[in-house]
Amino acid sequence: MISRAGTFKYYATIPERLESEPMPPSLQLSEVVDGASRSGDTARLVGFAPSLRISDGGPIPSAHPAFTRSRFTLTASEQRGASASSASFHVESNLARALRPGDILHLARTPCGGLGVSLLRANDLVFAAGAILSVPLGNGIHAETPHKLVNDAEAPFKTRDPNFKFHEFPLQFSIGGQLRITFGGRLQMGNYDIWVGHGFQPGLPGVDECAAISLQGIFGCVSASLSAQMLASEKFEITDW
């Protein structure tokens, strides 16, 4: 498992004025604090209040030329409380272009090393990609790994092999009164397109889910699924002090 000093949960409100097009200016991120105090926290990957710069990331390797990348670079504001000076990753460019003033952008890195990104507009989800269980999904959308169902499903196999375990867990989605459980593939639920590459894969430390949810009519579902795949498979670039 990655130590807490290698993880983060950040959010930023997109400013009323976007100073550069099609990318927003540098954003100030804030750590999501669980509880009344962070007195016991020693560090986060790039500190408690890093900046975020979104820039052109070039073409996506092995993808259709119509799809390009945006580079998200997180830079620590000070060395105190930051394990690294900066870190960067890519998403498909349409996700970055979807940002609007007043939106709230969430970024997370989990103890398993997974990266998750989501964008909320008036607390409604615009998109989520990567390790989606690590970021807020807004009103009316719930996603989880159904651990109790997995445990119950393993039970009859363990009567023959006590060491039996599923190598991958499914994802459960609840949107607009619908409930679906899937190991992978595409779904449409309410006004959302869902893509699942895989669910959580247990191990040491385990592999986070790779999935995407996108609001229909904002951009094609391919942009979100490409982003999820890049977050899961591309190198997460970390620059030490």
The distance of Cα 81 from the centroid of its chain, to the nearest Å, equals: 23
Q: Phi and psi (nearest 5°) for 32? A: -80, 115
The ranges assigned to domains in the chain are 4-239
Q: What is the pLDDT of residue 36?
A: 41
Strand order in the sheet with 115-121: 30-31, 8-13, 104-109, 115-121, 124-130, 210-215, 192-198, 185-189
pLDDT tens, position by position, 28-42: 888 876 544 455 567
**Could you tell me the two tokens for 64?**
């259709």
The band of 60, judged by pLDDT with boundaries at 50, 70 and 90, is: confident
As a whole number, mean pLDDT of residues 62-72 equals 84
The closest alpha carbon to 219, from 94, 111, 131, belongs to 94
As a whole number, mean pLDDT of residues 149-174 equals 97
3-state class of 68 per DSSP? strand
Average pLDDT, the chain: 91
pLDDT tens, position by position, 81-128: 999 999 999 999 999 999 999 999 999 999 999 999 999 999 999 999
3-state class of 114 per DSSP? coil
* Beta carbons within 10 angstroms of residue 222's beta carbon: 18
